[in-house]
């Protein structure tokens, strides 16, 4: 009876395993930027040219996927790694994470290199916070 109500749950690790990193979010943010660049290199997408249309669609889809991956990794680090005691060392921790996750949404809404660069900067700042938290 209960089996029909049980659904799989996916998470990094709630053991907790203690394995956290920022490489995945950094790579995802860089991929967002590169997809925006590639899309802009195409120029005007011609719906009569299936190759340019295909490339444009793939760039947008990949950008979306990696913006979401970056957001997921930010949430995981924010909620699972950082603890209340980290707020003493990083009083702006919540603001930085909140704004970075919002920026992931912003890069989904645009094809702006400037917005992608801003995401990279935010992820870079958070990566430094993470590294500093281990000292």
Considering the chain, what is the average pLDDT of its residues?
A: 90
Within 8 A by CB and 6+ apart from 97, the residues are 74, 77, 78, 82, 126
Least confidently predicted of 44-58, 98-112, 114-128: 44-58
Which pLDDT tens digit goes with each residue over 47-79?
Answer: 888 998 999 999 999 999 999 999 999 999 999
Higher pLDDT among residues 122 and 2, named by residue: 122
Share of the chain above pLDDT 70, in %: 87
Which pLDDT tens digit goes with each residue over 105-115?
Answer: 999 999 999 99
The span from the CA of 12 to the CA of 60, in Å, is: 26
- Residue of 61, 76, 52, 51 whose CA lies nearest to 31: 61
User: What is the SS3 assignment for 81?
Assistant: helix
Residue 124: its pLDDT value, please? Answer: 98
Show the domains of the chain with their CATH numbers.
Answer: 20-133 (1.20.120.400)
């Amino acid at each position: 009876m209960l089996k029909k109500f049980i659904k799989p749950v996916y998470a990094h690790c709630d053991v907790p395993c203690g394995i956290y990193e920022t490489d995945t979010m950094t790579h995802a943010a860089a991929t967002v930027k590169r997809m925006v660049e590639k899309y802009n290199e195409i120029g005007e997408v011609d719906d009569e040219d299936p190759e340019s249309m295909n490339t444009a669609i793939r760039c947008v889809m990949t950008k979306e996927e990696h913006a979401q991956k970056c957001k997921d990794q930010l949430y995981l680090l924010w909620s699972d790694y950082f603890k209340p005691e980290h707020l003493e060392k990083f009083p702006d921790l919540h603001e930085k994470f909140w704004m970075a996750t919002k920026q992931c949404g912003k890069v989904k809404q645009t094809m702006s290199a400037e917005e992608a660069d801003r995401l990279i900067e935010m992820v870079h700042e958070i990566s430094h916070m993470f590294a500093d938290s281990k000292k």
